[in-house]
Structure 1
């Protein structure tokens, strides 16, 4: 693999953040817009059980996606840091090894979810026909979980090398395919929720194929070496494992919220499901920041440009505040149109109006938490992101939602947001403290500085051995050329 310059180590940080997050937001918005269209199509069938089933499948799917996201975060953070440090061959080897690990892990998780879907749905409070419909959807989609994992991993690798355009295009094409297939399968062939499941599998398969092709063009994909798979998995696992635990906190907190809403009937679950699909579209830029600013931080950390790391953190927070303010100004006067579009009535309509009027403002603190977690994962402190996300999902969710239940489903929504204010603010202050403590050369590539000393020494020794192997290879190549 030829040496490529670390793109984010020079030029305007704000421009890098805007370009990476902007292109990422377009791709994410397309994906989540398709999910929103799915809900729109299903809601037009005028069957509350189907609409509630979408909510339950989304809650279960978030658990699966959390694992894929966590692994892709680790993969992107480690490879971007290697690229920033000039270790391009090592970056390719790690990417190839860990993509295989992602495929095997998510395949096992998908099969397990399909086998135990009924008891899992029961934990979320699903009953009756809604549970039966959700169970059918999960049994179709879950065995193909590896497809979305590969797509996410490839997208993370493309962002790691700074190829935001291809990362966006891969996602856009997959979303477009799903948008075309959904109405055909749901309405024309009358397959309902089963049609939405088939469309999901086909679009994810397309994304994974396009992603693999794009990654190969950058020379970041080769045949995994059997003797390097476990060492590479350990390196990425130092970031990926805490990132997975971090991302699992959100769906676990969502389990409690969905269960709380289920106490107030299918209309409350449908309202929560509608909001859960509006949020990713409305705040696609904020969600994209978590995957886009990470490579910028990692490359500059690998290159020792710590002032640019802090600059990336500040720029991200400014963009979060601007995005939430703009979205609020749009949804506040447009809430009647949103309610009408989803044919919402009663409790469902009340929850949508509350979100558009008041609780939407709390997402600035959720965005702050996302940015802080990105900094922790990419700067060698992934355990911090785990602690803050689980803190928000437990102490920042359960007591607030439990109290809110006394005031009905609207109280549940308010309680869900209030805990984010405390943990979002605390996380950002800690992130600035972490950046302030960084020193050039202190963080080893692919290694979290918060790991125990014994583990750190082992990983550093492994990296030194890799350097020696590379040096020997280079010397042999030079001698052969002279000969």
Structure 2
């Protein structure tokens, strides 16, 4: 167990960069394997398979977002307790968040599994695409509890400032998946079902690595106590439920996009699905930003070091700008390569080219929204994150993709999403800055009131 809150000392830019970079490596490795999945499956020569993975991924994004939401509660509560110097409280809450997460994810699997065909049909899948997507998702969904354990464990280790071991769980998962993919898809001839089985087994490998980091190295899990778990249910729910709603908004946006893309045919769905796999590989460093900034903010909030919290936000913006310029430029140069390796048709290639040339640059503004979400989730106002993300997923997505889809065709789907990201990224960042200043003013007022009280009653 750590002897001190390490994120309350040293350069905030260094903390944000290291936490983001290590988180990005794990995320990018995981999503790179998903991208390779798509590449292998595209080699089978059936566009219905690629479209099926796109539909199934929309639902899986929903389940993974739930796991991320619960891990946000773990990170915020554990990091805040460590910043206050209360390591026993941190250990208790780590144990209870994990228990609640496993129970909840199991309930989601029980509810969703028999309804998979109806959900996929609602999203627009039909005929052979529906059958393939159903079989793929029925296998993959069984691994949701394992994903929940891995995400929560990674959140606990990030809260401790141990970004390196948090990365190991996702790296091992990716390696296992990458090894099993070609064996099950091609050697055993299982096709899309082989890809699902490989991903399922890889997710269970996360559990073993996470157990070693949290239990063996940091000794952060204690004996489960039902009464203490019930006592911690409220603070956990106050963060996890709004964060869950926040994260559900992203798959909601993806579902809206996928359903609208279906109106342009399987070629458009395949293009959106390929772009959806490219995005987390290229921009994993930005997706990791919220999880990187959160522990830095939470530990310093527990220690009441507000200037470091302001510095952490500024450091995150600088990191996001540098990252976006470098990776968007690389994506622009690699667009023809992506079209070639996915054997994209003319319609599908058009979407890939448009995203690499224009749409990708909106991710800097989306990173501003990620920073704002980290502020609200970790500093006691997670409902703001929910409102911002749902705003982006609904009025920042559907009207814009319909409008620009009407004006520009399928390319308008990408452009509409980009415009929504710019608008809500700017709004969210301004709101987060103001909220942090409000917390600082309240703390200064509380200190001032306490000082005056002591002066008035010196003998008390």
> TM-score, normalised on structure 1?
0.90
Q: In the alignment, which residue of structure 2 is the partner of 1:404? A: 404
Residues 51 and 270 in structure 2, CA contact (< 8 A), matched pair in contact too: yes
Residues 71 and 243 in structure 1, CA contact (< 8 A), matched pair in contact too: yes
1:17-416 aligned at under 5 Å gives the runs 17-216=16-215, 217-406=217-406, 407-416=408-417
Cα deviation, 1:235-262, whole Å, max 9, x if unaligned, reads 1111111110001011111111100000
- CA distance in structure 1 between the aligned counterparts of 2:238 and 2:138, rounded to whole angstroms: 32
Displacement, 1:230? 1.4
- CA distance in structure 2 between the aligned counterparts of 1:144 and 1:289, rounded to whole angstroms: 25
1:429-444 aligned at under 5 Å gives the runs 429-439=430-440
- CA distance in structure 2 between the aligned counterparts of 1:139 and 1:58, rounded to whole angstroms: 12
SS at match of 2:440: coil
- CA distance in structure 2 between the aligned counterparts of 1:26 and 1:150, rounded to whole angstroms: 19
Displacement, 1:264? 0.8
- CA distance in structure 1 between the aligned counterparts of 2:257 and 2:234, rounded to whole angstroms: 34
Residues 3 and 86 in structure 1, CA contact (< 8 A), matched pair in contact too: no
Displacement, 1:119? 0.9
Displacement, 1:3? 5.9
Displacement, 1:223? 1.8
Residues 168 and 209 in structure 2, CA contact (< 8 A), matched pair in contact too: no
SS at match of 1:220: coil
Q: Tell me how many residue pairs correspond in the alignment.
A: 442
Residues 270 and 348 in structure 2, CA contact (< 8 A), matched pair in contact too: yes
Displacement, 1:404? 2.0
Residues 332 and 357 in structure 2, CA contact (< 8 A), matched pair in contact too: yes
User: Cα–Cα, structure 1 residues 267 and 299, in superposed 2: closer, same or farther, change >3 Å?
Assistant: same
Residues 174 and 207 in structure 1, CA contact (< 8 A), matched pair in contact too: yes
Displacement, 1:287? 0.8
Cα deviation, 1:321-347, whole Å, max 9, x if unaligned, reads 111111121121221111101111111
Cα deviation, 1:292-342, whole Å, max 9, x if unaligned, reads 111011000000001001111111111111111111211212211111011
Displacement, 1:440? 8.2
Displacement, 1:213? 1.7
Displacement, 1:180? 0.3
1:449-464 aligned at under 5 Å gives the runs none
Cα deviation, 1:437-469, whole Å, max 9, x if unaligned, reads 1138859xxxxxxxxxxxxxxxxxxxxxxxxxx
Displacement, 1:231? 1.5
- CA distance in structure 1 between the aligned counterparts of 2:401 and 2:98, rounded to whole angstroms: 38
Residues 304 and 441 in structure 1, CA contact (< 8 A), matched pair in contact too: no
- CA distance in structure 2 between the aligned counterparts of 1:361 and 1:392, rounded to whole angstroms: 17
Displacement, 1:20? 0.9
Q: In the alignment, which residue of structure 2 is the partner of 1:428? A: 429
SS at match of 1:68: helix
Residues 401 and 412 in structure 1, CA contact (< 8 A), matched pair in contact too: yes
Displacement, 1:141? 1.6
- CA distance in structure 2 between the aligned counterparts of 1:440 and 1:113, rounded to whole angstroms: 46
- CA distance in structure 2 between the aligned counterparts of 1:364 and 1:284, rounded to whole angstroms: 12
- CA distance in structure 1 between the aligned counterparts of 2:156 and 2:169, rounded to whole angstroms: 12
> TM-score, normalised on structure 2?
0.94
Residues 2 and 160 in structure 2, CA contact (< 8 A), matched pair in contact too: no
Unaligned runs of 5+ in 1: 444-483
Displacement, 1:126? 0.7
